[in-house]
Amino acid sequence: KTIPTLWNTAKKDGFMQELVDMSWENPKCTLESLLGVCGKEAAITDEQFSYFMGVRYDGESPENMETLIIPASTWAVFPNIVDAWKRLYSEWVP
């Protein structure tokens, strides 16, 4: 599946709203506050990788979800995926 397909499905089936409702930032959390996390592996080396949708949350994970702790200084924020790829290849990858 493609990432846009996953987001569209999550919006249609109510999963995105479930994440918003459980966010510790609720009621300020909106759909735009959701996180997309590419890979929990040390490196993404091919076309397939783990992808997570999430929110900032500190409770117990429901059975259909997983907790992913992302340590400080190990992540970057890219609000737009197209711009992210441009920036990745122009600034980070030689």
Decide: 38 and 51 in contact? Cβ < 8 Å.
yes
Which stretch of DSSP H or E encloses residue 10?
helix 3-12
- Statement: residue 42 has pLDDT above 80: no
Average pLDDT over every residue of 20-38 = 74
Average pLDDT over every residue of 71-84 = 78
Question: Based on C-alpha coordinates, what's the Rg of the chain?
Answer: 14
Q: Write the DSSP symbol of residue 31.
A: G
pLDDT of residue 86: 85
- Statement: residue 93 has pLDDT above 90: no
- Statement: residue 28 has pLDDT above 70: no
State percent of the chain over pLDDT 70.
80
Which stretch of DSSP H or E encloses residue 53?
strand 51-54
* SS3 readout for 60-84: CCCCCCCCCCCCCCCCCCCCCHHHH
